[in-house]
Copies of this chain bind each other. A is one copy, B any other.
Amino acid sequence: YTRESYQGNEIPGVVTGLAWTAHGGEILFVESSLSTGKGGLTLTGNLGEVMKESAMLALEYLKSHREELGIDQNVFDNNNFHVHVPEGAIPKDGPSAGVTMVTSLASSLSKRKVRKNIAMTGEITLRGKVLPVGGIKEKILAAKRAGIKEILLSADNKKDLEEIKDVYLKGLKFHFVKTISDVLDYALLKS
């Protein structure tokens, strides 16, 4: 109903993503939370199968890299994980929220806040690569409208910026990544 705008970074686990729909670009929010449990993963927000797989990949990446990330195994064993993407009335799908999901879960797990005024888009893989995604121009326009200052993209999406007029890019900073490790290093603030 209303065009969302960026909403601050006060709450760990909330990360701004960029979606590309039939109606153009849009920002979206990925929220995640932990509660006492036995490792279950709940996914809500009217998500399609591919988008659900992104969340599964994100959680699995964090589990299998928990030592590098300094996360205790107990955290995975003694919590349930919930990832939600408002707004429930809108069906959502595709792999491009992968970076947003892994950042959201890592923020919830570590309680580290997310860098201010940033939005991101990119597919993730199990080994930790960040793949390029489509709709970059529309996503950038949506990010500007929403008050975003910085955009994180796959290094393989760098070439897409060349086709966008400078006026649209003005006032935006871009950060390019190759791996999930790059994403988390940049997007999560030191606690």
Contact = CB atoms under 8 A, between A and B. Distances in A.
A21 interface: no
Given A42-B56, A88-B95, A89-B95, A126 B50 contact: no
Nearest to A76: B36
A64 interface: yes
Interface stretch (A129-137, A144-152, A163-171): A129-137
Instruction: Give the interface residue-count category, chain A.
Output: 35 or more
A63 interface: yes
Interface of A: 1-2, 11, 13-14, 29, 31-36, 42, 44-46, 49-50, 53-54, 56-57, 60-61, 63-64, 66, 73, 76-77, 80, 82-84, 86-89, 94-95, 98, 123, 125-127, 129, 131-134, 156
